[in-house]
Amino acid sequence: MSKEYMGTYEEIKNKKPMRLGEFVGGEENSFYVAKSENEVYELSPLAYYVWMVCDGDHTVEELIKAASEEIDVDENDIIEPFIIALTSLVKADLVKYVD
Nearest to 59, CA basis, from 92, 36, 82, 27: 82
CA 68/CA 77 separation, integer angstroms:
9
Which residues pair with residue 41 across a beta bridge?
Answer: 33
Would the pTM of this model clear 0.95, i.e. be above it?
no
Domains by residue range for the chain, with CATH? 3-93 (3.90.930)
What SS3 class is residue 53? helix
pLDDT tens track, the chain, 99 positions: 677 778 899 999 999 999 999 999 999 999 999 999 899 999 999 999 999 999 999 999 999 999 999 999 999 999 999 999 999 999 999 999 997
Find residue 18's DSSP bridge partners.
55, 96
Cα three-residue angle 91-81-15, rounded to 5 degrees: 55
